[in-house]
Chain A
């Protein structure tokens, strides 16, 4: 058969992967909307559309579960697409949205807000022992410090013409600096403040309402559009920087802008929901095995897979020992670590 016809079929097949993932996400969202500690199910949903008004159930569906599901979809997409771009740009399968030290910087920002600016406190009720009484200051501080960290990493990397090594090393160095600073201010803080700060660092999707989801979605969409428009440029980076340049790509500019947008999307998500590990590492990894390292397909599919994985983790976190809701970050790490090792061992087999 002619090479071009075979190729077109092959490309066509990859599109089905994307459609299948979308379908899975859709079904999972409906399942998640149905599940939960209180009994509000799709029956209520159908009732709602027929005009039967069950106040409580509607409140749970529309005000609690739906924003949470949307937050999982948006944050999962943001983390996964960021991881995908980082792994491509740094040519490092271990790169993630947090390679630039964003998670550490955001945690430091939150600690500053909670401890130094006194934005957290304890409550006497047993369930939610810790509350953050001024979430906006915490969000803003976390965001500001994440972006600040990004600029420092970029300044440092610029000295070395955005070489991959320079970016990774300055990210790691800055990350550990922020961790040290966090430990230092926690050391001198009150117990209840430390508790609130630690609580913040566990990623949790229950904190957001529609407004925050909208902000996260905007940041993610802007980044996604840039990344997708530059999919061919990223593909040339897969070969080498030299080849990319010889094919007309301004490598330094591309890296700089990619880093900025990755940070923007990640920092926005992290400052609203805290640190959620592994999604940004593992979703692009899984997709690379299925669709190859071609960014034309890797960008859309790993975005959706990130949403699927985070939504799945959050649904497990809400239901596994219901009515207690576990922090979703714990579930992603519990699921992610073994999965990651499994992929690693399979990789060894192949090589």
Chain B
């Protein structure tokens, strides 16, 4: 077990957004967080790596208490892709190189540059290396953000809707690549994702959130017609096609 979230609570001003959220993730496991807009998914991710300080509860990463770790140590263990961010005038290579920031003392070393080079190659971003990120398309930029989080070489990856701007091919390629890395290097991935079928294809475990709480969590068995009706108030059919679970809105 690499990540353990124990009855995490958080409120904005007095509005409760996370109410005693608990779950655990094993090494190399990919977990999808599902839920309607405003359910508290993004807030949950930000509380895990102390971008927001939780009001209560605790996050453990390999038995270390995250809230007691300095931010720079957290950054070596947890990579993060935000739901939205600014684009500044910076080249793709520089933007990804920022992911090495937790390890950089005075200047980037050849090793840092090699790591960035490899990631750019794997995500087919090489040809954009020296392009400014404010001149990229939405999907290309999103891949840059994912590349940056991977450059952190973390043990846990927190991805907040990382594929929302990607085309079908890139959605599949990028998620497959993340899954492959997760398996190879024993990285645990928490990904917020709205496309249920994409989630079913990618994730090993599912966490469904409703009204600041976890509605249900577990393997594919938690994705049922009833659960989806409860969480999203939408009627769907859940069917097995060629041994794959598929959600079809009716």
Interface residues of chain A, those whose CB is within 8 Å of chain B, are 2-4, 6-8, 10, 91, 229, 232-233, 235-236, 238-240, 242-243, 245-250, 288, 292-294
Looking at the complex, which one of A91, A233, A248, A294 makes contact with B74 (CB distance below 8 Å)?
A: A248
Interface-centre pick from A3, A4, A245, A294 (highest chain B CB count, 10 A):
A3
Do A247 and B116 touch across chains, with their CB atoms under 8 A apart? no
Q: Kindly state the separation between the CA atoms of A292 and B92 in the bound complex, as whole angstroms.
A: 12
Do B82 and A243 touch across chains, with their CB atoms under 8 A apart? yes
Q: Is residue B153 contacting chain A, with contact meaning CB distance below 8 A?
A: no
Q: Kindly state the separation between the CA atoms of A291 and B232 in the bound complex, as whole angstroms.
A: 48
Other CB < 8 Å A-B pairs besides A4-B113, A8-B113, A235-B98, 11 of them?
Answer: A3-B126, A4-B114, A236-B101, A238-B88, A242-B46, A242-B51, A242-B85, A246-B82, A248-B101, A249-B71, A292-B90
Q: Kindly state the separation between the CA atoms of A288 and B90 in the bound complex, as whole angstroms.
A: 10
A239: chain B residues at CB < 8 Å are 85-86, 88, 95, 98
Are A4 and B101 CB-contacts (below 8 A) given A249-B71, A288-B89? no
Do B152 and A247 touch across chains, with their CB atoms under 8 A apart? yes
**Residue of A whose beta carbon sits closest to that of B85:** A240
Q: Is residue B209 contacting chain A, with contact meaning CB distance below 8 A?
A: no
Closest Cβ of chain A to B179, distance in Å, is 21
Do B80 and A246 touch across chains, with their CB atoms under 8 A apart? yes
Do A246 and B75 touch across chains, with their CB atoms under 8 A apart? yes
17 interchain pairs, CB-CB under 8 A: A2-B117, A4-B113, A7-B91, A7-B113, A7-B130, A8-B113, A242-B51, A242-B82, A246-B49, A247-B101, A247-B102, A248-B71, A248-B101, A248-B102, A288-B89, A293-B89, A294-B94
Looking at the complex, which one of A240, A243, A250 makes contact with B71 (CB distance below 8 Å)?
A: A250
Closest Cβ of chain B to A310, distance in Å, is 25
Interface-centre pick from A10, A229, A233, A245 (highest chain B CB count, 10 A):
A245
Interface residues of chain B, those whose CB is within 8 Å of chain A, are 46, 49-51, 70-76, 78-80, 82, 85-86, 88-91, 93-95, 98-99, 101-102, 104, 106, 113-114, 116-117, 120-121, 126, 129-130, 132, 152
**Residue of A whose beta carbon sits closest to that of B106:** A229
A2: chain B residues at CB < 8 Å are 117
A6: chain B residues at CB < 8 Å are 129-130
Are A292 and B132 CB-contacts (below 8 A) given A240-B85, A247-B152, A249-B71? yes
**Residue of A whose beta carbon sits closest to that of B79:** A246
**Residue of B whose beta carbon sits closest to that of A4:** B117
Closest Cβ of chain B to A57, distance in Å, is 46
A245: chain B residues at CB < 8 Å are 49-51, 71
B80: chain A residues at CB < 8 Å are 242-243, 246
Interface-centre pick from B85, B94, B102 (highest chain A CB count, 10 A):
B94
Interface-centre pick from B50, B73, B76, B130 (highest chain A CB count, 10 A):
B130
Closest Cβ of chain A to B214, distance in Å, is 23
Closest Cβ of chain B to A284, distance in Å, is 13
Are A7 and B129 CB-contacts (below 8 A) given A235-B98, A240-B82? yes
B51: chain A residues at CB < 8 Å are 242, 245-246
Q: Kindly state the separation between the CA atoms of A292 and B95 in the bound complex, as whole angstroms.
A: 12
Do B90 and A235 touch across chains, with their CB atoms under 8 A apart? yes
Q: Kindly state the separation between the CA atoms of A250 and B120 in the bound complex, as whole angstroms.
A: 28
**Residue of B whose beta carbon sits closest to that of A351:** B134
